[in-house]
Structure 1
Amino acid sequence: MHSRKITAALIVTLGMTMAGNAVAAEPDAPVFGGWRNLHSASGAEPVLRNQPFAILPREVAKGERFAILDRENKQAVCCLVVDSDRLDAIALETSYRLPGVWIADLLGNEDYNRRHGDPHVFAMKREGELVDHVFSQEGGGYSDLGGLLLPAGAALDASGGSVKFGTTTYRLQVQSQRFADDNGALDRYTLQPPAPAAPVVVEVPYSTY
């Protein structure tokens, strides 16, 4: 599907475009988003590697905790923890020295933001089980490179087809689509709560660098 190097091909894109964007929601509703595991551009000093970033639909406080979806192992793994104030393009370029294509993944573009709203991007840190979690590489697995971000405390059922958070169960569907220029791809996660509630859609983009 893609090279194992983050610098090569990445097959996904965020609806929180992320690099991740979620369509949401009431202030008290659970926050779903996207995340990406990135590193600084070639030649940058100091070199930044394996830095996770979250793409969320609204502002969150430092210290807020999230779980990531490990699709291959069918698990929700905690935790990614918000470790910065909201980041803009200037901060992503100067403080983290990310390539422009990944900044675009995280922040979206004009058309994307018109459809999904303005993404809120944060640097994250790993804590708890996620620090030593082993991701599967079988079948081209890439959950270690990014994907769906879930509220801490969410759980995946044994089939991987639904997410439970609190008393609500969301049916989970995942679609992947390559970019037209074949320089990456978009993953679209649809979380459908019981009717008549509207679905939550998270899109995570992975551009090739």
Structure 2
Amino acid sequence: MFEGMFAGRLALLLAAALVGTSAASAAEPLVGGWRNLHSASGAEPMLRDVPFAVLPRAATEGDRFAILDRESKRVVCCLVVDSPRLDAIALETRYRLPGVWIADLTGDEAYNRRRGEPHVYAMKRVDDLVDYAYSDAPEAYSDLGGLLLPADAGMDASGTLTLGADRYRLQFTSLPFADENGALDRYTLQPAGSAPALVVEVPFSTY
């Protein structure tokens, strides 16, 4: 169902990655979303399966992140930042992404006014992610994107995420688009106590 879902619609670009119910502070762990994309049909050179990170604040080249394989309940390392921050022009000219995919990564004006413009980076796969085998179960699509976490993140047998010394209960919902051309995935990371949750939203739309 989700094999062709690589990018989004302007109407539902709530974020490729949102963090928190308010602006993220430097004290919060840097979590976001990632998407596995490829260049538009007929583009030269043809680029396939390029991972992109969408983060709420800046990262630098060489920073390492892990991804969540939701179906297998595993955290796998690593995606490494492999570019400067990318804007819409760079995404179009350097990576030949279609406009709807660029909008999926960069958000729309209303979202950016509320949350601040997301930080978009091309990534490269290293370590366990180079040849990682995702679940081939029906409806599995973690290979197309999802939750991006600090490199030292982990997940225990109960499905609780560990980010450094902190533990987060993970909740996942998928909200179908009204036209059924994809879904918006929402990851809610709830820490212990009364601290606000971290929320990451990743849209998947049919291109």
TM-score of the two chains, using structure 1 as the length reference: 0.91
Identity of aligned residues (%): 63
Tell me the amino acid that sits aligned with residue 27 of structure 1: A
Task: Indicate the RMSD between aligned Cα atoms, in angstroms.
Answer: 2.0
Deviation for aligned residue 1:65: 0.4
Deviation for aligned residue 1:29: 2.4
Separation in 1 of the partners of 2:118 and 2:76?
A: 23
User: CA offsets, 1:153-196, max 9 Å, x none?
Assistant: 10012233x20011100110011011122222100110011122
In the alignment, is the contact (CA less than 8 A) between 1:113 and 1:119 conserved in 2?
yes
In the alignment, is the contact (CA less than 8 A) between 2:104 and 2:203 conserved in 1?
yes
Separation in 2 of the partners of 1:115 and 1:173?
A: 24
Separation in 1 of the partners of 2:54 and 2:7?
A: 21
In the alignment, is the contact (CA less than 8 A) between 1:33 and 1:54 conserved in 2?
yes
User: CA offsets, 1:47-91, max 9 Å, x none?
Assistant: 000000000000111100000000111000000000011000000
In the alignment, is the contact (CA less than 8 A) between 2:185 and 2:202 conserved in 1?
yes
**Structure 1: any 5+ residue segments left out of the alignment?**
none
Deviation for aligned residue 1:4: 2.1
In the alignment, is the contact (CA less than 8 A) between 2:76 and 2:129 conserved in 1?
yes
Deviation for aligned residue 1:102: 1.1
Q: Given the superposition, is the C-alpha separation of residues 99 and 142 from structure 1 closer, same or farther in structure 2, using an over 3 Å criterion?
A: same
In the alignment, is the contact (CA less than 8 A) between 1:135 and 1:143 conserved in 2?
yes
Give the match for residue 194 of structure 2: 196
Deviation for aligned residue 1:118: 1.5
Mapping 1:44-193, distance limit 5 Å: 44-160=43-159, 162-193=160-191
In the alignment, is the contact (CA less than 8 A) between 2:13 and 2:103 conserved in 1?
no
**Structure 2: any 5+ residue segments left out of the alignment?**
none
Separation in 2 of the partners of 1:187 and 1:80?
A: 20
> Number of paired residues?
203
Separation in 2 of the partners of 1:76 and 1:122?
A: 20
1:21 aligns with 2:18: yes
- 4+ residue runs of structure 1 moved beyond 3 angstroms? 5-9
Separation in 1 of the partners of 2:6 and 2:201?
A: 20
Q: Given the superposition, is the C-alpha separation of residues 100 and 197 from structure 1 closer, same or farther in structure 2, using an over 3 Å criterion?
A: same
TM-score of the two chains, using structure 2 as the length reference: 0.91
Deviation for aligned residue 1:5: 3.7
Separation in 2 of the partners of 1:142 and 1:30?
A: 25
